[in-house]
Structure 1
């Protein structure tokens, strides 16, 4: 679905005033290569200014790169824009495709004509999206009167109205309450599973990534630093896993050889053990009678923060 090879993009930034200013070059993306297969959901992560937005703008055809080869669904995005945009959907958290003063229903009807969606297909999609996203209560409300959560759900419906094969999501849950975030995640999961829509997701809310993506790419300073399974990222950089044990009675000595004791509160004790190691259930149950136990995986947000702050994937810059 997406094939990116040796992508380069440099911006020329002028600073210092009109008369005595100077121009410097800023490499937004440098030698980035990756592929995304049809039906994948991929999280594209990185701090602000890392190169995520530049990559997305190239993939959508908004920017022409300075070097490299890019195809999306077999098309070069900036050369075949009309055919290209007809096959993709995009939702950007800070922008809307809805007409500000029109009811949501009218905006969707206008988009039906823009994308030449047949009437029967439009009615079918609108009915399904109304059920999945609970659009009914605000279909006849102008976009300017919608809450942020309602607008995002309407924008998702607008982005998928024409059955695109590829969906770009940029911060789709930013600023939303818990209920709205969950509804959007469930909807994206459904269209991926049932329709095979390929999804490229950029977000700072890493719960979105955990819920939707099995694969992540991390970019920083314009360089792709990691491309692989989310589980692999956790295993390499997530640190210790935790084992929470509820004993039948508080153990006289909660310490167990080979496990790091983190906290003991009566019969509930938490241990840490190496992320790649097998869960040491036999060792724990042999120590004292156990009522219940749970394995707590490393928090994905803490993992990514550790990568950024510690420079664990820091590129070697020229």
Structure 2
């Protein structure tokens, strides 16, 4: 059975239309007009238990709306969803105890006068976590998220990064089997971002959780996901592996060459010169020409290191957004 299965899922919002003038505002009190906004349009996909999938797309593509339907916050206009056998919008207690929707813009709620440990104990009560499971899960989360020095502090005294780490612990204290992560590293500094990435990867390995991750930071996706679902204008444009997407859209690879001889050279004939320093160069080379160019570089230059790389995922995704290249 799939961890998550969505079939022909759609969401259409009905929003009021009002003229900007005072007359239009007064008229809308008696005669309202509405228009339809198709946020999600007939999408289908499935995610196996334990799979970590990136769910990406430009702003307004339908990502957050989809996560809200999968987590039961919104009832879809059409289609069906099963999350570990549950229908999300029925909001059954067993379902709510099996999922977590974590949004980077809302790191930690609740009374700010409470200590972090008090907040975790309150979460224990809400989700009916046994004393033994609480001790075990708290110890594991404290280790993974480096919370030892934060447990006795009041929530209001925490920095944004500390709130995010404590918010993750709060959301995962009851060991949900499904995580919906909506921009989990939004607004964090480099150290906090790296810690959150390491934590998510470690948590998934330890628990086998099913994860659907949205992020505008492609490094998040590259670090954590082998598969992506790309959505734009409410429809799925791509569903597959990261490497397959690059191969499909990017006709070239990058050759990163280091050399001991720093004399000026004519790079014409090897490929498009992307970057050049005193002892290294980056070339963009057509995929089918990579073996031949690599052999020529090794034969003709004093090469000390050579690496063949896929183009940055940001560049590939940007091409999709701008050109609709799929």
Q: For the superposition of Structure 1 and Structure 2, which TM-score range results when normalised by the shorter chain?
A: over 0.9
User: Unmatched 5+ residue regions in structure 2?
Assistant: 19-24
Q: Write the distance in 2 (CA, Å) between the matches of 1:50 and 1:264.
A: 37
The answer to whether 1:183 aligns with 2:195 is: yes
Q: Write the distance in 1 (CA, Å) between the matches of 2:92 and 2:69.
A: 11
Root-mean-square deviation (CA), in Å?
1.9
- Select which of 186, 191, 201 maps to 1:174: 186
- Select which of 290, 297, 300 maps to 2:313: 300
2:81 alignment counterpart: 70
Q: Write the distance in 1 (CA, Å) between the matches of 2:320 and 2:111.
A: 40
TM-score under structure 2 length normalisation: 0.90
TM-score under structure 1 length normalisation: 0.92
Deviation at 1:23? 0.3
1:316 alignment counterpart: none
For residues 144 and 65 of structure 1, do their structure 2 counterparts lie closer, same or farther at Cα, with a shift above 3 Å needed? same
Larger displacement relative to structure 2 (263-272 or 156-165):
263-272
Q: Is the 8 A contact 1:92 1:172 kept in 2?
A: yes
The answer to whether 1:204 aligns with 2:206 is: no
Q: Is the 8 A contact 1:235 1:276 kept in 2?
A: no
For residues 137 and 282 of structure 1, do their structure 2 counterparts lie closer, same or farther at Cα, with a shift above 3 Å needed? same
State the secondary structure of the residue aligned to 1:137.
Answer: coil
User: Unmatched 5+ residue regions in structure 1?
Assistant: 314-318
Q: Write the distance in 2 (CA, Å) between the matches of 1:111 and 1:277.
A: 58
1:12 alignment counterpart: 14
State the secondary structure of the residue aligned to 1:122.
Answer: helix
Deviation at 1:90? 2.0
Larger displacement relative to structure 2 (273-282 or 68-77):
273-282
Counting matched residue pairs gives 313
Q: Is the 8 A contact 2:270 2:283 kept in 1?
A: no
For residues 122 and 275 of structure 1, do their structure 2 counterparts lie closer, same or farther at Cα, with a shift above 3 Å needed? farther
State the secondary structure of the residue aligned to 1:140.
Answer: coil
Q: Write the distance in 2 (CA, Å) between the matches of 1:60 and 1:269.
A: 48
1:283 alignment counterpart: 296
State the secondary structure of the residue aligned to 1:138.
Answer: coil
Q: Is the 8 A contact 1:10 1:27 kept in 2?
A: yes
2:262 alignment counterpart: 250
- Select which of 19, 25, 28 maps to 2:39: 28
1:312 alignment counterpart: 325
Deviation at 1:253? 4.0
